[in-house]
Every structure is written in C-alpha cells, then in structure tokens.
Amino acid sequence: MLHQYKYKSMEAKLIKTEEEYNSALARIEELFDVTPESKEFNEVELLIALVELYELEHYKIEAPDPIEAIKFRMEQLGMKKVDMTKFFGTRGRVSEILNRQRELTLTMIKKLHKEFGIPAESLIA
C-alpha cells in the first residue's frame, strides 16, 4: 500500500522526496485560485518557492545546443539561411556553421546574443 504524504497547511520544511514534491504540487493546485487577501495566500507562496527550489535541484533543464538554439530563433523570426550572412559572413560559412562543420567565434556569439537575445550560455556550450 502506497503511503500518501499530505502537505499540511503552512508546514514550512524543505521538500526532499518525490512524494513530498507531488503532494506540494497537489496542494498548490488546491489553492490555485486564492487571492492575496486570503489566509492561504502565504501558504501557496511558500509552497511555490519550495517546489521551485526542489525543481532547481532535481529537474535541471540543460541549455539547448547552440546550433539548435540558432535554428529555433531563425524559425521564430521567419529567417532563411541567407539572412544569417550578416552574422556569419558568406553563405558558405553559414552552411558550415549550421551543419556543425565550423565553430562559432566569440564575435558571432556576441552578435547573436545581442541581435537574437539568445542567452550567451546557450551559444557557448
């Protein structure tokens, strides 16, 4: 028989197990429509902070591959490979970079970060 952990109102403790995590999520869902004036508002804020802390440690999201990040942003902006010459130089160089045959330079990374808003960490990976 599965023992269910029930998150009690305003129980201030770190979430350490998947069971506690799921219970906290269920409690947040119960309190989803609370207003800042309600007595449960502090509880839901605390639970959200605890869940976020647990997720940072247990559900890390890896930075996307730099080329995939560039291609995704190009798609979002409706850009074609030829539009990338302003970042990479020639059409040949654009193809080499997008086909992973040539590395991004620091200058390219800076331009892409500034123009596309792609996090530098994603481009450096």
Question: Can you tell me the mean pLDDT for 48-71?
Answer: 89
DSSP 8-state symbol, 90: S
Position 2 scores a pLDDT of 43
pLDDT digits (tens, 9 = 90+) for 16-34: 999 999 999 999 999 989 9
Rounded to whole angstroms, what are the CA distances from 70 to 83, 86, 122? 12, 14, 9
Q: Residue 65 contacts by C-beta under 8 Å, 6 or more apart in sequence?
A: 125
Tokens at 1, concatenated: 């028989």
Average pLDDT over the chain reads: 87
Which domains, from first to last, does the chain contain?
1-61 (no CATH), 66-124 (1.10.260)
Residue 93 CB contacts under 8 Å (≥ 6 apart), including other chains: 85, 102
pLDDT at 3: 43
List the Cα angle 33/38/42 in 5-degree steps: 90
Type of residue found at 95: S
Specify the higher pLDDT residue, 7 or 25. Answer: 25
- Check residue 8 and give its pLDDT: 54
